[in-house]
Amino acid sequence: MPEMSYILLQQEQGDLQFVEMPASHAYQLSALNLRLHKELSKLTADNVPKLPKAIAEFRALDLLDENQSPIGGLQYVNELEQSFAAIREGSYPLVSLLTEIRALQAQLEQWYEDEDML
């Protein structure tokens, strides 16, 4: 089994999400999240998604709440790409953010394919 890492995300209202990522790509999701948060305030569209904030990154996860489970990294990035692709932005160059999201998406797809996990 390949080594995995986890990114802890916190929604505005305090809910937590755990995203399971290949250890080799976890930092990229954390960095992407920080960049997206930095740029969100510059977007002028009315349908900008609420983005949880990355608050921790760790290697092992033992969830004690049986109602919680980690989200797969590729699933999370796919949903992130869909939500940003749906933004109707006229004045901010959204394409640069989408390019970063899609680059990580492509890397994850390749990783999961290489690991025969798709």
73-85 helix and 26-40 helix, angle to the nearest 10 degrees: 20
Q: pTM for the full model?
A: 0.92
pLDDT digits (tens, 9 = 90+) for 46-78: 888 999 999 999 999 999 998 999 999 999 999
d(CA 93, CA 87): 11
Tokens of 112: 């999961």
In terms of Cα–Cα distance, which of 87, 97, 57, 96 is closest to 73?
Answer: 57
Helix (H, G, I), strand (E, B) or coil at 36: helix
The percent of residues in the chain predicted with pLDDT above 90, rounded, is: 76
User: For the chain, which residues make up each domain, given as ranges?
Assistant: 4-115
- Strand order through the sheet with 71-72: 53-58, 4-10, 16-22, 71-72
Confidence tier at 82 by pLDDT (50, 70, 90): very high
Residues in the chain: 118
